[in-house]
Amino acid sequence: MAIAIGPSGNRLLAQVLDIVGVPVLAPQLTRVKLKTGQVLHEAGVTISYVYFPVDALISLMQVMASGETTETAIVGNDSMIGSELMMGVDRTTSRAVVQCDGTAYRLPIEVFGQELDRSPDVQRIVLASARALMVQTAQTVACNRHHALSQQLCRWLLLSVDRLPTGELHVTHEGLAHTLGVRRESVTLAASRLRDEGVIQYSRGLVRILDRHRLERDACECYRIVSAECERLYNAAAKAIGRPSVLHRTEGGTRLSEISAHRRPDARNDALRAPKDRRRGERRTPVDRRVRNVPIAFAERRASFDRRAGYPQLVARPPEEPAARELAG
């Protein structure tokens, strides 16, 4: 399968070039080859360049004092490294590490900042990219806390292949263990189970997705939530600027518009129980007196409490007239 290595290989960069103009921005771009394990920027260090991956994957990692790492988001050909510029900062609290080697385009932060200042349309799509990363980060934190490793692995594989031009991943079990923050043996066990069931195929650091629909079924709801919300953000930005959306699905992927992000297997039973639960909730929940037009002043409640407690009653002095205050002065 032919892979577009030009700047248009990154869908976000292609949209930026369409807005700004290829002759204006293309001469400023530098094509770079990224190697697995390469650190693009460290936490707390000023960012010098923004990166637009084409066929590479970049992990945003949180690094503990012990040296242990956990991935909070993954960036591929739908986004960029350095969208924090939209938040008015030039550094982050995460480390950007190349997870799968490949090609990317690099742009000096000063040049990109100038284009952000010039074009509201560029601001809109970059802001959508930054918000999509925030959604992915928040959901990843919840996933790592509440879901089994097998579900996390399926979620990570799906998010990764969605951000690559092919359905293949160059990643080792050791790299996956660092990414998910677990032991290598645990990753090997989970990956072996998927391989034995015919869902994936892997050998010597190459992972191929054989049954995507089964992978989506085995993944937790986090993949659907992240994908649906990212699609909504990018579509809204594209509609606002009158251009096609950044997102597209990989071959064999499921249309996200047909997936309910928060649907659970027992959704029908939840709907049947809803009226009863709502009535029970109304009995438990006190009704705000202000809604019932029963005014209760704070001073009245405090005076009532003081009388019950036996505290001496304080009599408020009436305010002095302006003329009286002038004579007293």
pLDDT digits (tens, 9 = 90+) for 206-258: 999 999 999 999 999 999 999 999 999 999 998 988 877 776 544 434 333 33
* CA nearest neighbour of 98 among 48, 58, 131, 151: 58
- 30 lies in some domain: yes
User: What average pLDDT does this structure show over 72-94?
Assistant: 88
185-221 in b/e form (b: 16+ CB < 10 A) is: ebbeebbeebeeeebbebeeeebebebbebbbebbbb
Residues 2, 165 contacting (CB under 8 angstroms): no
The closest of 209, 306, 218 to 251, measured between CA atoms, is: 209
> Is 283 part of a structural domain of the chain?
no
Number of structural domains (the chain) is 1
Asked if the structure places residue 194 within a domain, the reply is yes
Summarised one tens digit per residue, pLDDT across range 185-194 is 999 999 999 9
| 289 in a structural domain | no
Instruction: Tell whether pTM > 0.85.
Output: no
Region 71-81 average pLDDT: 95
Q: Within a domain: residue 128?
A: yes
* Residue 50 pLDDT exceeds 60: yes
In a domain, 131, yes or no: yes
Residue 174 domain flag: yes
What number is the average pLDDT over the span 82-105? 89
Q: Residue 61 falls within a domain, yes or no? A: yes
Question: pLDDT (tens digit, 9 = 90+) per residue, 7-47?
Answer: 889 999 999 999 999 999 999 999 999 999 999 999 989 89
Range of the domain at 121: 7-265
β-sheet with 206-209: strand ranges across: 168-170, 206-209, 200-203
* CATH number, domain with residue 114: 2.60.120.10
| pLDDT at residue 123 greater than cutoff 90 | yes
Cα distance between residue 85 and residue 153, in whole Å: 31
- φ, ψ of residue 97 to 5 degrees: the values are -125, 135
Residue 86: band (very low, low, confident or very high) from pLDDT cuts 50, 70, 90: confident
- The pLDDT of residue 4 is 57
Cα 205 from chain centroid?
Answer: 27
| Residue keyed to tokens 């590490």 | 97
The model's confidence at residue 3, banded by pLDDT at 50, 70 and 90, is low
Q: How far is CA 314 from CA 297, 298, 302, in A?
A: 17, 15, 11
Edge-first strand listing for the sheet containing 102-108? 30-34, 102-108, 49-53
